[in-house]
Amino acid sequence: MFIANALLQRAGRAHRRKLRFGGSALEAIAHYSWPGNVRELENVVERAVLMARGKLVEARDLGIEVKERSMTSLRESRDRAERGALVDALVQARGNITQASRILAVSRPTVHGLIARYDLSARNFR
């Protein structure tokens, strides 16, 4: 857990967010097999910093699948996928709404609506 916490602090500083792992995230990290080793952990933590909705990174923010995962509703799965695609597009576009809308093949107002829906800020991706 030391490495994960160090990576979280570093990514948090880079994105100007002060975060810590919640219990569900720590459990998911501990039970995941990490086939990509530290590099995969680093990427997962970086993405989680961007996905986290509050001051805690939870398991849902990590985007990893632990074998003993409970089933989620279709709505939760769709929301998670939509939010993940939005974050990925904003990362790739470095926070540029127009570029993100092109990547996602949706209108700029749609991207603005999704950003508001998932309580994100395009500035955090620059």
Query: DSSP per residue over the chain, as a string?
Result: -HHHHHHHHHHHHHTT---EE-HHHHHHHHH---TTHHHHHHHHHHHHHHH-SSSEE-HHHH----TTPPP--HHHHHHHHHHHHHHHHHHHTTT-HHHHHHHHTS-HHHHHHHHHHTT--GGGG-
Domains present along the chain, CATH in parentheses = 2-62 (1.10.8.60), 74-125 (no CATH)
1 band by pLDDT with thresholds 50, 70 and 90 = low
Query: pLDDT (tens digit, 9 = 90+) per residue, 22-31?
Result: 888 888 888 8
Average pLDDT over residues 13-40: 86
Average pLDDT over residues 55-70: 79
Query: pLDDT (tens digit, 9 = 90+) per residue, 83-118?
Result: 888 988 888 898 999 999 999 999 999 999 999 998
- Residue 71 is predicted with a pLDDT of 62
